[in-house]
Structure 1
Amino acid sequence: MKKRLTKIAAVTMAVGMAMASLAGCGSSDAAASDTTKTVQAAAGNSAETADIQEQQAETRIPKYIFLFIGDGMSYPQIQSAAYYMGTTGSSGGVETDELSFMDFPVAGSAQTFDSTSFCPDSASTATSIATGNKTYSGVINMDTSLTVPYETMAEKLKEQMGYKIGILSTVNLNHATPAAFYAHQDSRNNYYEIGRELIDSGFDYFAGGALLKDTGADKDEISIYDLAEEAGYKVIKTEAEAQALTGEDGKAIIIAEQLADADSMNYQVDVKDDQMVLADYVEKGIEVLSNDNGFFMMVEGGKIDWACHANDAGSSIGDVTALDAAVEKALDFYTEHPDETLILVTGDHETGGLTIGFAGTNYDTYMTNLSNQKISYARFDEEYVAKYKEEKTDFDTVLGDVKELFGLMKADDPDASEDSALLLTDYELQRLETAYNRTLEVGAAKQDEMSQEEYVLYGTYEPFSVTITHILNNKSGIAFTSYSHTGLPVPVFAQGAGSELFEGYYDNTDIYNKIASLTGIE
């Protein structure tokens, strides 16, 4: 605590850095230079100087920081979730049900481009957020020469301020976004090396999906989990152990007991009623990290991105609402510590080119149609499509599952009159049958193994599954333009101590700069 107090004088001067950074896209050093010029210019005008001093005096220093990152989440993902929640709960007409963070008093926007592209990846964008620096797509916390590592805000908060640190994700804990807060690698695919850095970070609490390649690329290395235990981590792989964890147990790594595709956590649409979800791990994290000195918690909704890559709007909406439920746990904590807590909600980039509106529905949307989706594309592939391919199931039989799981049905179906909005037109039915035959004959394929037309239709996903979600999306008034990332800016929602600094239109590197200016990390 004494260390924190010695920084307050420096922090009040540093607050100006965030004001200058609203107009800049550079590093924290550039922002500091801009701040010096701003202060010098203002010094000649006593009224302006008084205003600056008043704003600095009013800015509160956050002791507890929550940074929520919806991977692949931008305005379309957020708004589609809000519209869906409103229309499915209404008695008619057009309504919206705002997500909790949409009510935050401060909102800004951040550009996401990196040193490679206007359509960046998660490694480079998370690097920008975590360190205030641009780099190449695929690189984690290294400069563009791939020789200079960048120290992250989480590392600095732990080393300089003594904060406890928590890293949570619905995807693998050594995936790009969580890795960007503790690792430094020239490739995001160095999963084993990233896992070693996870242990070396000494961070206090990890929770989420399993570690990828935990015994190395050739499966000949010592398990990361064994190394973690040797380093003093309590490795937890059951929900019973997770629920029993307390702050007295020391450093912990929780791997979700119920794992899904690629050993990630389940999509929200696939979660069972008694299963722990992201909000539960945030609540547990608050319990184990709480201390008088402070903590920083990064929470990633990683499967929003995966759903949008696959053009699965229903699963995207489910995971946006799951992230929102996790934010509500932070808000509960905020109500108890309003003067010391900062909550930020943002995205790293947009995925899929999602939009609300489709040529086939003109000015209309039918968001309630998405409520008929009972399963994610990934679970459908695993539990149904794999069986179809093995048994060569006939198309008419398969359509029975499509009706049950997605609500889509043929015009001559006995239940057709009950929900005409979900009737398959002849055109849609032909698309489905063509895609199903391709699934049986070819299955998912790499982009360089298919024609341009085939890639536009199916991406690298199971042709039948992605065609089902495309048709349901379109009938709902939802459409995607890509299977990759796009260059859209992302929103930044802020509430709590220092939140006023996050208003405006700025670069994603300034998220780091603003947090650094508030906390005084150097």
Structure 2
Amino acid sequence: MTKTLKRVPAILIVLLLLFSISVFPAGAASAPAVKNVILLIPDGMSVGGTTLARWYKGGTPLAMDEMACGLVRTYSSDAAIADSAPAATAYATGFKSHTGYVAVLPDVANMPGLQPIPKGDERKPVATILEAAKLAGKATGLVATCEIPHATPAAFSSHCPDRSNYDDILEQQVYSGIDVVLGGGSKFLESGARKDKEDLIKVIKELGYDYVTTPEALHKSNSSKIWGMFAPKDLSYDFDRDPAKQPSLAEMTSKAIEVLSKDKDGFFLMVEGSKIDWAAHANDPVGVVSDILAFDNAVKVALDFAKKDKQTVVIAVTDHGNGGITIGDRETSNNYDELPLSTFIEPLKRAKLTGEGVEKKLNADRSNIKEVMATYYGITDLTEDEIKAIKEAKPGKLNYVVGPMISKRAHIGWTTNGHTGEDVVLYVYSPINDRPTGVIENTDIARYMERILVMDLQETTKKLFVPARTAFEARGARVKWDDGDPNNPVIVVTRGNDKLRLPVNKNLAEINGKPVKMNGLTVYNGVTTFVPEEALDLLN
């Protein structure tokens, strides 16, 4: 009896230990919270392009390969094939939208399974994951190889139902308080190129950014706020890039992480390999390979940081397919299984530049076509028709002419010069192995980021986008739209002796002549003006 009683505590201890192991898996107590998200978007990257890039580099795995975990459906609110603006909006906000709309709701949501847009919510701005991160005290950044107001970066940092309205989009971006912005598009910041004549480069400097324009200046910067512009418009394809004049996507990603990771609260960073999409539009496989490999180098930078940091989730996912690229074309229909790998790769290996880079090597009268195409694009057997087509190509469009030429020689197939509607591959690294799997919606990416960062996009929308007239008039104020300068409209709110001025597209306010910086923007969607909740309190 005594021996039995003595054994009971020991048995209980063993059972308790087993219970604790089953309920709290090994390492759970020390499992790191996710503080940071790096979202990398290879715009327009189809699986065929990814496979081609892998073979081009010898068949060794891409950095993103180990992260593959699912598929993403890319359709927009009213179309099976998405434009980049609504595709990026889905990732940024968790809402599908319409062609050309950045971070605003669509007018119509009629694809199968979607809920209709409530009347009055059409074109309403909705908060982005970048804005939610900023409100949570995290550092934020944008990196792209296109101009910064282009569709994808715009969808994370501005709100506009017209993706081509660079004036409004870029002004919103400048006044959004993003910590690191790196890419192209300096000409759109200049006063001479803007309808409002505002010198946004001057504004950027006044806001405390280190404004840099060379790789050397970027690397040397010790600032916690950097705005880097490395081309008047888009950056060069990586194969065409001059390293002394433009940093690589990997270099920009590395610098952004270096700066943002100093924030103790964490960070959100969006990185876009923008011109994979542009090369696919042109059916230029050299451009596709060039920038998929450059993008993958950026993924490696992010992944290496995340594995060391252990508090960072890395997501790589394209917004849609493009071009319908295939390894094999109509001419390989009967002998596809007999052709060596070199059939598809060697013609591409002979090219030193993309179609866009080749155009810059042609002289003014294009009398050196044969020499340039042989030296820089690896084609030595041009036909007279091909020479004529190159000579007649419109400026800026040569890649649309020579891309199909090298594709034909490499038996790379294409179905379109436009986007495509297939599901795309999702790549995710999580330090706690919390990854989406299976086939998911593009909007689920935003919901995933929202969940792992413990944020609430719906509440952020309520805080940042209050219908101005309705809200102010409910408080007994009068609201006037002052468009004396139509390119710099201002909302003027008066109540009693108080006067509040809210310039559109800015995070600035003026109450009784006193300037105030708000935590959000004043946004006009063409119908309604929205202000941060904070603006309402300025009249109290």
TM-score (norm 1): 0.74
Q: Which residue in the other structure is 2:165 paired with?
A: 190
Question: Residue 63 of structure 2 is aligned with which of 91, 100, 118?
Answer: 100
TM superposition shift of 1:116: 3.3
User: Partners of 2:436 and 2:101 in 1: how far apart?
Assistant: 26
Q: Which residue in the other structure is 1:456 paired with?
A: none
Question: Residue 391 of structure 1 is aligned with which of 359, 365, 369?
Answer: 365
**Conserved in 2, the CA contact under 8 Å of 1:174 and 1:212?**
no
Q: Which residue in the other structure is 1:142 paired with?
A: 104
Distance 1:165 1:241, change over 3 A: same
How many equivalent residue pairs?
Answer: 411
The residue identity in structure 1 corresponding to 2:453 is T
TM superposition shift of 1:234: 2.2
**Conserved in 2, the CA contact under 8 Å of 1:346 and 1:492?**
yes
Q: What are the within-5 Å matches in structure 2 for residues 140-289 of structure 1?
A: 140-145=102-107, 146-160=122-136, 162-211=137-186, 213-214=188-189, 215=191, 219=195, 221-246=197-222, 249-256=223-230, 259=231, 263-272=233-242, 274=244, 276-289=247-260
Asked if residue 367 in structure 1 is aligned to residue 345 in structure 2, the reply is: yes
Q: What are the within-5 Å matches in structure 2 for residues 311-390 of structure 1?
A: 311-338=283-310, 340-362=311-333, 363=336, 364=339, 365-384=343-362, 387=363, 390=364
**Conserved in 1, the CA contact under 8 Å of 2:85 and 2:99?**
yes
**Conserved in 1, the CA contact under 8 Å of 2:167 and 2:195?**
no
Asked if residue 81 in structure 1 is aligned to residue 35 in structure 2, the reply is: no
Q: Which residue in the other structure is 1:310 paired with?
A: 282
Task: Give 1 or 2: higher strand fraction.
Answer: 2
Moved more, 466-475 or 146-155: 466-475
Q: What is the alpha-carbon root mean square deviation over aligned residues? A: 2.6
**Conserved in 1, the CA contact under 8 Å of 2:350 and 2:377?**
yes
Distance 1:211 1:189, change over 3 A: farther
**Conserved in 2, the CA contact under 8 Å of 1:204 and 1:251?**
yes
User: Partners of 1:317 and 1:117 in 2: how far apart?
Assistant: 28
User: Partners of 2:99 and 2:57 in 1: how far apart?
Assistant: 34
1:360-379 superposed Cα distances (whole Å, 9 cap, x missing partner): 23413421220111112222
**Conserved in 2, the CA contact under 8 Å of 1:313 and 1:478?**
yes
Moved more, 311-320 or 358-367: 358-367
3-state SS, counterpart of residue 434 of structure 2: helix
Asked if residue 123 in structure 1 is aligned to residue 85 in structure 2, the reply is: yes
Structure 2: unaligned runs, 5 residues or longer: 1-21, 108-121, 457-540
**Conserved in 2, the CA contact under 8 Å of 1:245 and 1:288?**
no
Structure 1: unaligned runs, 5 residues or longer: 1-50, 87-95, 411-423, 445-459
Question: Residue 493 of structure 1 is aligned with which of 427, 431, 438?
Answer: 427
**Conserved in 2, the CA contact under 8 Å of 1:179 and 1:194?**
yes
TM-score (norm 2): 0.71
TM superposition shift of 1:211: 4.1
**Conserved in 1, the CA contact under 8 Å of 2:38 and 2:313?**
yes
Distance 1:211 1:123, change over 3 A: farther
Task: Give 1 or 2: higher helix fraction.
Answer: 1
Distance 1:471 1:147, change over 3 A: closer
1:144-203 superposed Cα distances (whole Å, 9 cap, x missing partner): 24531010011101202x111111001111111011111000101111111111122111
1:206-246 superposed Cα distances (whole Å, 9 cap, x missing partner): 11112453237655511221222222222111222211112
User: Partners of 1:61 and 1:186 in 2: how far apart?
Assistant: 36
Give the greater-gyration-radius structure (CA): 2
**Conserved in 2, the CA contact under 8 Å of 1:361 and 1:475?**
no
Distance 1:142 1:380, change over 3 A: same
The residue identity in structure 2 corresponding to 1:222 is E
Identity over aligned residues, as a percent?
30
User: Partners of 2:392 and 2:253 in 1: how far apart?
Assistant: 42
Distance 1:498 1:430, change over 3 A: farther
Q: What are the within-5 Å matches in structure 2 for residues 498-509 of structure 1?
A: 499-509=433-443
User: Partners of 1:435 and 1:156 in 2: how far apart?
Assistant: 50
User: Partners of 1:140 and 1:115 in 2: how far apart?
Assistant: 13
**Conserved in 2, the CA contact under 8 Å of 1:63 and 1:341?**
yes
Question: Residue 404 of structure 1 is aligned with which of 365, 371, 375?
Answer: 375
Q: Which residue in the other structure is 1:71 paired with?
A: 43
**Conserved in 2, the CA contact under 8 Å of 1:342 and 1:499?**
no
**Conserved in 2, the CA contact under 8 Å of 1:172 and 1:212?**
no
User: Partners of 1:142 and 1:170 in 2: how far apart?
Assistant: 24
The residue identity in structure 1 corresponding to 2:257 is I
Distance 1:517 1:220, change over 3 A: closer
The residue identity in structure 2 corresponding to 1:203 is I
Moved more, 323-332 or 123-132: 323-332
User: Partners of 2:182 and 2:208 in 1: how far apart?
Assistant: 16
